Amino acid sequence: MAAWAERLAGVRGVLLDISGVLYDSGAGGGAAIPGSVEAVARLKRSPLKVRFCTNESQKPRAELVGLLQRLGFDISEGEVTAPAPATCQILKERGLRPHLLIHDGVRSEFDHIDTSNPNCVVIADAGEGFSYQNMNKAFQVLMELENPVLISLGKGRYYKETSGLMLDVGAYMKALEYACGVEAEVVGKPSPEFFKSALQAIGVEAHEAIMIGDDIVGDVGGAQRCGMRALQVRTGKYSPRYP
């Protein structure tokens, strides 16, 4: 206990991943990970500031929060940092008109974005939408641009649903990078800007925060590169066989 107290000395804020830490998505809305509802409640009762930091890109933030509330979590939409709203802000600020390679479930987040005559591609976890036809169309859009811009909502390799491990957006992002000779701009973990926006929302400096997640690369590694402490849980995608 003394070792843990030393490691956590000075911590004022906690960033919590959602998928694989609070719940596993899947049929029927998924299932809460045992003990996670109670753990969030204890954090909320503590003096620590709590922020939920997710790469979820198959459903709107409001829908995700509603699902978590039905599972028993004390969470509100304003407490969640998610990539789709952040991406929309970037598109508006830079005058970008995206070709969207995204899941139908999250398309409503982009309802107010001009998608005519695309000058960039936005890719997210499209699930079954990652067909050859759809990937090739995104490839064609990028190749026709003089200055191609590829924006990816996260760069995860895989995640866990109740039915098992699922391939994530990172694999498809890398395919477009390779084919088009471009480097994607990542909005979401492990992007430093994404972590910084979550920290700013709770008014905590990086050295005062700890990130808790199941992804050793996106959650733990990304947080540590920003100057935070990080903890990998042994739920979700965690496996002693895979990094």
| The pairing of beta strand 23-24 with beta strand 31-32 | antiparallel
What pLDDT does 2 receive?
57
What pLDDT does 241 receive?
77
Enumerate the CATH 3.40.50.1000 domain ranges in the chain, comma separated: 10-82+189-232, 87-187
d(Cα 90, Cα 7) in Å, to the nearest integer?
36
The domain defined by 10-82+189-232 carries CATH number 1.20.1050.10: no
CATH number of 87-187: 3.40.50.1000
What pLDDT does 1 receive?
52
What pLDDT does 41 receive?
98
133's tokens:
């036809």
d(Cα 107, Cα 1) in Å, to the nearest integer?
46
What pLDDT does 240 receive?
83
Torsion on CA atoms 239, 33, 170, 197, rounded to nearest 10: -120
Per-residue pLDDT of the chain (243 residues), as tens digits, is 556 667 788 999 999 999 999 999 988 889 999 999 999 999 999 999 999 999 999 999 999 999 999 999 999 999 999 999 999 999 999 999 999 999 999 999 999 999 999 999 999 999 999 999 999 999 999 999 999 999 999 999 999 998 999 999 999 999 999 999 999 999 999 999 999 999 999 999 999 999 999 999 999 999 999 999 999 999 999 988 766
